[in-house]
Amino acid sequence: MNPFSYLEALRLAAPETALAVAALAVLFADLGGMRGESLRHRAILGAGITAVGGAMALLWLGFAPGYGTIAEGVLVTSPLTQLVKAGLVLLTLLVAGLSLDPRFTGHVGEYFSLLLLGTIGMMVLVSTQDLLMLFLALELTSLPLYVLAGFNKRDRASAEAALKYFFFGSVAAAFLLFGFSLLYGVAGSTRLPVIAAAVALKPPDALTLVALVCVVMGFGFKVAAVPFHLWAPDAYEGAPTPAAAFIASGSKVASFAVFGIVLAQGLGPMAGGADWHGFTTGWLPLLAVVALASMLLGNLAAIAQRSVKRLLAYSAIAHAGYLLLGLMALATPANRPAALAAILYYAITYALSTVGAFGIVAVVERATGSDAADGFNGLARRSPALALCLMIFLLSLAGIPPLAGFLGKFYVFVAATRAGDGSLSLFWLVLVAIALSVVSLYYYLKLLKRAYVLPPDGAVPATRPDVMEFVVIGMTAAAVLGLGVFPRALLEPLALAIQQAGF
């Protein structure tokens, strides 16, 4: 083994280190110097330090990217991981921009430091090839999210959200750890390539299958796929809105990226098959069932929701189903680069539109006092700009051209169709997904109808975003529109990075 180089480790982990330092700085600055200040000032300081830390990390990722491997895969950085990490930091900064009016808590320092620490977890999550590190990073991603979900201590729903999220999360983590330990038993190593070599030796037996099911359960919880989705609606609804935006955006991108890495690089040889009439053992049939259930339940249950946050939660479950379809396309090695690019493009644009949508929910919630769909009645008359942004986000989520959501779905569906070397083996799932996308249009349009057609209910106070909220919502809307019109802006760097990462 090569001698361990601390300088090299620091160089490769510099962006994460910058965020960790920023997290500590926020904590100390808020606890030390800002006791008597108003909540608003403390939030501005917290978000400011968060922005500085995030900017340092972004600068490092952009201008001094170090590529390399630490300790045989404990930390791996490649152009691909750096690109995804930059996206994660950007999402965190957007969420921080939505958090400048933290009415839900008096603990501003803790709030921003947990945001930053959770982001570190996500960044490590996407740049490791080692199951031990992966599990720790997953916990570091989840733990801040549990706390953030329960941040509003004056609200019972927030406590309920945190508790449900935590219980489901800890059980899922236990299953994941059990699965990992079985994989370690099979391969004798926690490194993904070694595991891939070990499972390739023989057809999957009961032991590897139990491990596989446990792993899919663990990740299924993180991405909120049916039947591991039960936490999502309550967590989204009860959590403070900026925290919900964080749960719904960055952690989804990171979880899907790492799920894809584990399936493709660790369990690739035991993919099996999910043809309509010929399921063969492996993770493909497993994911096919989970994806089908997620798309069905997510889209159908969303129709009945009266709370906009719950609606976004069920829509997130449905989107998890579409994204799982993209993951299934990873099973064919020749198809992998295109499938991975499609997944990441989809996940990032989805996260952008979700952050924007939650931003609008936050503004409306502040004006009307709840996130009920009724509060959106006549939004176009109260605030035309907000209504326009809402239209962009919802139509993108529904997958209407020329918005980014349409292209994301298009690329994922194309990748899934090409899976299995042109045998159209997943075509039946793609057909279901397209049909259910049409269903999803119904509930998105129902909300838009409230905003554009229905008159406002009586005397609703003016619905105005503050400056940063307006900037964040405007930027995400512009990004969703821009990436839809010029998808190459994101796809080309992604394709290049995937190629350089040797996928």
Partner 1 sequence: MEAVFFYLFAAATLLCGFLVIANPFSRNPVTSAMFLVLTIVSLAGLFVLLHAFFLAAVQVLVYAGAVMVLFLFVIMLLDLQAEERRSFKKLALAGGGLAVVVIALLAHAAVRESPLGTAAPPMVEGSPRALGKLLFTEYLLPFEILSVLLLVAMVGVILLSRKEAK
User: Which residues contact partner 1 (rule: CB under 8 A)?
Assistant: 1, 4, 6, 9, 13, 20, 27, 70-72, 74-75, 106-107, 110, 113-114, 117-118, 120-121, 124, 130, 132-133, 136-137, 139-140, 143-144, 146-147, 150-151, 153-154, 162, 182, 186, 205-210
Least distance CB 191 / partner 1 (angstroms)? 11
Distance CA 321, CA 295 (A): 5
Q: Which is nearer to partner 1, 166 or 452 (CB)?
A: 166
Least distance CB 133 / partner 1 (angstroms)? 5
Q: Match 């999550």 to its residue by tokens.
A: 125
Q: Which is nearer to partner 1, 117 or 451 (CB)?
A: 117
Question: How many other β-carbons are positioned within 10 Å of the β-carbon of residue 156?
Answer: 10
C-alpha of 378 from chain center: 31
Distance CA 4, CA 274 (A): 44
State the DSSP code for 454: S
Two tokens, residue 305:
């929701």
Q: Which is nearer to partner 1, 160 or 275 (CB)?
A: 160
CA distances, 398 to each of 70, 270, 370, 391, 408 (Å): 41, 33, 24, 10, 11
Q: Match 């930027």 to its residue by tokens.
A: 475
Least distance CB 23 / partner 1 (angstroms)? 8
DSSP string of 167-229?
A: HHHHHHHHHHHHHHHHHHHHHSSSBHHHHHHHHHSS---HHHHHHHHHHHHHHHHHTT-TTS-
Q: Which is nearer to partner 1, 145 or 355 (CB)?
A: 145
Cis peptide before 204 (omega within 30 of 0): no
Two tokens, residue 210:
């139990």
Least distance CB 76 / partner 1 (angstroms)? 11
Distance CA 232, CA 316 (A): 9
Least distance CB 185 / partner 1 (angstroms)? 9
Q: Which is nearer to partner 1, 146 or 231 (CB)?
A: 146
Least distance CB 247 / partner 1 (angstroms)? 15
64 by Cβ neighbours in 10 Å (0-12 / 13-18 / 19+) ranks as: exposed
Distance CA 414, CA 409 (A): 8
Least distance CB 235 / partner 1 (angstroms)? 15
Distance CA 116, CA 234 (A): 24
Q: Which is nearer to partner 1, 119 or 476 (CB)?
A: 119
Q: Which is nearer to partner 1, 69 or 307 (CB)?
A: 69
Is the separation of the CB atoms in 134 and 118 below 8 Å?
no
Q: Which is nearer to partner 1, 109 or 405 (CB)?
A: 109
Least distance CB 2 / partner 1 (angstroms)? 10
Question: How many other β-carbons are positioned within 10 Å of the β-carbon of residue 467?
Answer: 9
Least distance CB 350 / partner 1 (angstroms)? 26
Least distance CB 124 / partner 1 (angstroms)? 6
Least distance CB 304 / partner 1 (angstroms)? 27
Q: Which is nearer to partner 1, 120 or 347 (CB)?
A: 120
Q: Which is nearer to partner 1, 185 or 384 (CB)?
A: 185
Cis peptide before 402 (omega within 30 of 0): yes
CA distances, 339 to each of 43, 331, 346 (Å): 40, 9, 10
Q: Which is nearer to partner 1, 151 or 345 (CB)?
A: 151
318 by Cβ neighbours in 10 Å (0-12 / 13-18 / 19+) ranks as: buried
